[in-house]
A and B are shown apart, each in its own frame.
Chain A
Amino acid sequence: MNKLLFGRYIPQDSFVHHMDPRAKLVLSFLYVIVIFFANNWWIYLLMTVVALLSIWASKINFKLFVDGILPLIWIIAFTMLIQVLFGTGGHLYWQWGIFSVTSLGILNAAYIFVRFTLIILISTLLTLSTSPIQISDAIESLLKPLEKVHFPVYEVALMLSIALRFVPTLMDETESIMNAQRARGVDFGTGNIVQRIKKIIPILIPLFVSAFNRAEDLATAMEARGYQGGAGRTKYRLLKWGTRDTIATLIYLLMTVVVFALRFC
């Protein structure tokens, strides 16, 4: 659990940290979509430069991003292996039954590696530089148009922000319940699969019970403070679009245009 970087927020005073979370969310999505149009090394080079520039602007230690990629290295390696073994087209180096290694297959594997790495870099940058509460604010703001079709935007955003708020609390609680059961002689991580699953029960039940209690307490506390639902509420945290957001958007749009030009012309 300690090594897991995904979803962690590292506060800093930087260009990226002060950006509007909506801009960051949309630009990250744009980046991920654009990368699927890449089909030659020039595009990858350009997109790598943009990614590294964004990371540099966030002032976050690059080593952290490497740590973020390492847990996923096996998935990447597996996908590359499939590409290498089942690729078709180009020069044929080796063949055995349905397996074949070709130059195009190897090239595709290399593309996939770069694609994976860049997607992980950009999404890690988003979560490292944006607090969960900002992300849920951004999602609420971006979903606003859906209110026209009676989509419960406010309720979804509320659930999202409560859920995000309680992720660390529940993690701590899981940890402390696990410790308590360990002290009572439960040995997690030994035994066969059935035994291991049975050992989860003494963690799950207390966790559920405490989540129910917590939900009840929270609902009571919210009502006592005058919460009556989404209608007619004002907002404490306001999202504001600034110059830096415009600059970042322009850079990303320029990148998109160049990528499409390189791909289709």
Chain B
Amino acid sequence: MAITFKSVSYTYQPNTPFEFHALNEISTKIEDGSFTALIGHTGSGKSTFLQHLNALLKPTSGTVLIEDATITHETSNKNLKPLRKKVGIVFQFPEKQLFADTVKKDIAFGPENFGSTPEEAGKLAKKMIELVGLPVSLLDRSPFELSGGQMRRVAIAGVLAMQPNVLVLDEPTAGLDPSGRQEIMHLFTSLQQSQHFTIVLVTHQMEDVANYANHVIVMEHGKIVKEGRPREVFADVEWLHDKQLDVPASTEFAFEMVKRGFHFDKLPLTEQELADDIAAMFKRRRRSNE
């Protein structure tokens, strides 16, 4: 399901002293089945952008096309529910949205809102809790008895249970330990491969961007300042540093090597690429020595 932005602007509290222009003439397209990473400094408008993806916010000017539905500032709030089923958002610290007395009811809450019967929703809850890697025995426990990491997974399961076509993730791994981070990211990528999701990920982890994304959007002051494949975006290390953004550690390492006189055809993005490039360099050197 493709989502297109056509010169979208958004202003918070217009015509008051607290007026704030969060988005400024944004135009971009999120392709069907793509893995888009959204990066940018804090306060660059990423979260505002996300809330346009399922019409939680409506543009002050411009239009958002979610598949064939057109959202402008005139769109009424009435018929947005079907859109919200298609675009699931996992907000930052999603464990804060848990409220039901059992994990099962909480996961089933989304599907039931979209018209599933309690039995169907219950079955979905069982399927989803296994999908996010938690034991089925947790279903009858209270979500507030769980650990932070488990709560996060339950909240994600609650969004996945709506069976969306587009999955929007706002820093899903913030505050998790390294193994938890890897597991969660692995879950999302395997979901994308098996069920052909479209994923939009907001993150400050450039390794995740390099490893998983095929489309990167860089935002600054409510504008898109760069867009393209990860390799294109990460090619200009100094420009990113200038925008107070990081590059993957491997790219940074390679960049430091370049400063000391090494040469890479293309700056590597992942550890694997870096290792391969360095191995190739050694081979070449040995050959020239012989």
Listed in ascending order, the chain A residues whose CB lies under 8 Å from chain B are: 2-3, 8, 10, 61, 64, 67, 173, 176-177, 179-187, 189-190, 201-203, 205-206, 209-210
Docked-complex contact B113 and A186, CB < 8 angstroms: yes
| B78: chain A residues within 8 A (beta carbon) | 190
Q: Distance (Å) between the CB of A55 and the closest chain B CB? A: 15
Interface string of B93-134 (1 = CB under 8 A from A): 010111100000000011001100000000000000000000
A-B contact pairs, 21 of them (CB 8 A): A61-B17, A67-B16, A176-B91, A180-B89, A180-B97, A181-B97, A182-B56, A182-B84, A183-B87, A183-B89, A184-B84, A184-B158, A186-B113, A187-B81, A187-B113, A202-B97, A205-B99, A206-B96, A206-B99, A209-B99, A210-B96
Residue of A nearest to B17 (CB): A10
Contact partner of B96 among A8, A177, A184, CB < 8 A? A177
- Inter-chain contacts of B87 with A (CB < 8 A): 183
Q: Bin chain B's interface residue count.
A: 20 to 34
CA distance A64 to B13 in the complex (A): 13
> Per-residue CB proximity of B1-43 to A under 8 Å, as 1/0?
0000000000011001110000000000000000000000000
CB of B77 within 8 A of CB of A189, answer yes
B interface, CB within 8 angstroms of A: 12-13, 16-18, 51, 54, 56, 77-78, 81, 84-85, 87-89, 91-92, 94, 96-99, 109-110, 113-114, 144, 158-159, 162
Task: Give the distance in Å from the alpha carbon of A61 to the alpha carbon of B113 in the complex.
Answer: 45
Chain B residue at minimal CB-CB distance from A183:
B89
Residues B91 and A185 in contact, CB atoms below 8 Å apart = no
A61, A179, A205: the one within 8 Å of B91 (CB): A179
Closest to A179 in B: B56
B99/A185 in contact, CB under 8 A: no
Choose one: A10, A64, A180, A209; the contact of B94 (CB below 8 Å): A180
Residue of B51, B85, B97 touching A177 (CB-CB under 8 A): B97
Give complex CA distance A202, B84 in Å. Answer: 17
10 further A-B pairs in the complex, CB-CB below 8 A; given A176-B96, A184-B162, A203-B99: A2-B12, A10-B17, A180-B96, A182-B56, A183-B54, A183-B87, A183-B91, A185-B162, A186-B113, A187-B113
Q: A177-B97, A206-B99, A209-B144 are in contact. Are A183 and B17 (CB under 8 A)?
A: no
In the bound assembly, the distance between CA atoms of A202 and B87 in angstroms comes to 20
* Cβ-closest chain B residue relative to A209: B144
Q: Whole-angstrom distance between the alpha carbons of A182 and B162 in the complex?
A: 12
CB <8 Å contact, B17 and A184: no
Point out the residues of chain B lying under 8 angstroms from A2, CB to CB.
Answer: 12-13, 16
Decide if A183 touches B88 in the complex (CB within 8 Å): yes
State A230–B118 Cα separation when bound (angstroms). 53
